[in-house]
């Protein structure tokens, strides 16, 4: 069975924890676009901060053993 792309927080291209860079890399988008969308979600509803923190905890870091 082939394994698909995993969602990982990369070591390079980070601003804070690499969550937006990881989503951008996983979905083939520009990291700046993902960051802007994340800020808009945060400003419009406030759930972006909580979601970012949860993703920071759940998404493994690139190069980790998980």
Note whether residue 46 is domain-resident.
Answer: yes
Q: Looking at per-residue confidence, does 23 or 48 come out higher? A: 23
Which two tokens mark 45?
Answer: 């509803």
Note whether residue 48 is domain-resident.
Answer: yes
Note whether residue 36 is domain-resident.
Answer: yes
pLDDT band at 1 (very low <50, low <70, confident <90, very high): very low
Q: How many domains does the chain have?
A: 1
Q: Residue with structure tokens 């969602």?
A: 7
pTM, two decimals, is 0.80
Note whether residue 10 is domain-resident.
Answer: no
Note whether residue 32 is domain-resident.
Answer: yes
Mean pLDDT of 23-38: 92
Note whether residue 65 is domain-resident.
Answer: no
Note whether residue 49 is domain-resident.
Answer: yes
**Domain range spanning residue 37?**
19-58
Which two tokens mark 64?
Answer: 């980790």
Roughly what angle, to the nearest 10 degrees, separates helices 47-58 and 19-27?
A: 80
Note whether residue 45 is domain-resident.
Answer: yes
């Amino acid at each position: 069975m082939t394994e698909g792309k995993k969602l990982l927080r990369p070591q390079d291209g980070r601003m804070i924890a690499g969550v937006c860079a990881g989503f951008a890399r996983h979905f083939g988008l520009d990291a700046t676009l993902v960051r802007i969308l994340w800020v808009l979600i945060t400003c419009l509803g406030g759930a972006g901060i909580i979601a970012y923190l949860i993703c920071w905890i759940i998404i493994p870091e690139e190069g980790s053993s998980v």
